[in-house]
Structure 1
Amino acid sequence: MQYWIPASLVASLFISGCSLFPEDVVEQSPVETKPLAELKVPAGLAAAKKPAQFDIPPAPNAPVTEVELKSPMQVLALATNSRVEEEEKEARIWFERSEFTGELLPYLKTNVLDFGKEKQIEITQKDQQGLVFETGWVSRFEEEGFWLWKDMVEKEQSRFLVVFEPKTHGRTVGLRVQLLEHRYIDNDAKLSAIAQKREEVYFLNRLVDKVATVELAQIKQKKAQSRQITLTTGFDAEGNAAMLTGQSIDAAWPQLELLFEQNGFVVNDLDRTKYTFFLTYQEPESGFWDSLWGGEETIKVPLTPGNYQLVLTKSEVGTSLSWRDSEGKVMSAEQVSALHQALVQIIKRDNIEL
């Protein structure tokens, strides 16, 4: 009796053995293929022409060339007024005049020459019209070594031709880069055609990045100039000293949350139905890392550490902000005025809309 369990188990394995192995490991015989017979054309008719553009020519003794296993470089239109045309074969990008550029051609020339000064690359004008420039040697470095012994080692150098191609109307200017000369530091190898294009596109992208960086700074500056701080001091509907902002109450609420962050305020509770913040203020301390890396200067708020309430109320001009102590007592006009001066500095620094 004790032998019937192993025997039945072995029998079941033999019976279900075909299902224990996946189908893909079962060796299958190759499928026999039969060549198709040539199409017979009836007498008096001509056979259709066969396209030969897909035929692979026989080359039994052709040399094996090295395949470059690197992703192709693409011209990056980083600036908002730049574009790349489809089917472009050259390392070229087009810029359009915008509100930030003014006269486009002088604007692009200035950015290219400034890029050369920043990177210590000599850029020389080669024509009387000021459309063709030639660079000095541009070095490429690679990191070598390990840990504390890492070092940047110069590997190759290139010289480029930078050509401006303005349209007759002046609102569009092309910027093209052409490799003039290249050399490796350690050997006499030559660039392949693909590697040459990669060098041209890489340098062009650096020029475009310079234009985009300047453009971004102009956009930020214009936005800061156009943004108006509407927060002032005044009186609420009950005649108490308060702060007034032209923002609606629903717009001012989230902006105040941004003002509280990292400025010493902690929101303990809030009542959105009554538009009230329950706050704790503690003067922020400059940490070790802030002093080490030169962080932004802390703006001191003229409040003693403790609990406060900030009540928002709709007003004719927008929203009134009533500052109160923990017991709900409204602050004096002198306190509100001093607090307003500090908050305006924080609003300017943090780009808060109030």
Structure 2
Amino acid sequence: MKLSRLAYMGLAAAVITGCSSVEKERASGGFEYVNIQPTSALDIPGDLEQPEKGSKYRIPETDIAQAPIGHRVNITAPQQVRPLGLGSRVLETETETRVYFDVVDGMGDSVAEFVRQAARDVLKRRNLEWQEVNENRWLTEQMTIQQTIDGEGGFLGFGGESDSELERTFRYELLQETESHKRTTSLRVNVNDFTQVVGGEEKVVAPLIVRNLETDLLNAIISEVNRKQQLAVARNKAEGIDTRLSQAAEGHSIFVVEDNFDQAWPLVNLALEEIGFEVDDLNRESGTYFVEYSEPGSGFLFIGGDDYENLGIAEGEYEFWLLDDGENTSVTVYKDDKLVSDEWMNKVFEAFKAAVKQQSKL
């Protein structure tokens, strides 16, 4: 099989793959049935009762002369949209070539922009030129592919007794829809203006061929979203999780751990132990750690030295309350059922921040 590019051949990789596996797309085995001629009537011996003829199960006459049979039958399997990336999914009732993405760690502030950038990168990698009709709709330039298909079964179901020239033209359309809450976006791929000409004559192709072209591009974008998300998570882990000193709506000081509650909960435990707070009890449901602080070297039968610095705060029991705040987790501190002072929070902040970052890297 011979291939040539006429325009932006980003699809070439998919086409070449099809050519290399052309034998898998052709029916194989024996085709003796092709030459079997149907009998005109049922031959019943004379000594048997002749059955009554009925039309209930009669096979209607159809014009099947041009239908592919034998080795000309194309057995290409339909490609499936593969939601392999974290947060990607396909609806069971979906009839379009579409995938949904829910925001997950590593996608930043906008899942829509994260997916949009992944789609751009795939189009660039495939050398596809496109126009952004608006923020949520893109059209690629029309592409033309020429192929020479052989007569031995042909390619994609267009076989004949001699080689033929196949020309295919189409463009991709990408459509993105984002939910109002901004935490979910969908991406749909359409193939528009599709035509296929074989031997100078335009041919109608099975919907499967067009659907596979759409699926091929969408799966490539899903893989790119997954790759970018995994890299971002690894990069964030290498940098560690930040903590900042902020104020609650009521005006008191709080620590804000820049990660969700599920990630922050165990990190805060380890960080508190590292800076001198011994965890006596905890309640994950209420997000509370019950701790006791002792100055370095003040423990019973103290020998040697502790591996944390003196925070300059009063010894005693404290409660650290963690509150889920979406992508972040706020930490409020109490002593004797009262909020600690802003001065107390300032004294502990740097040590707490460093401990959280260090533990998140492990």
Return the index of the structure with the highest Cα Rg. 1
TM-score range for the pair, normalised by the shorter chain length: 0.3 to 0.5
TM, length-normalised to structure 1: 0.41
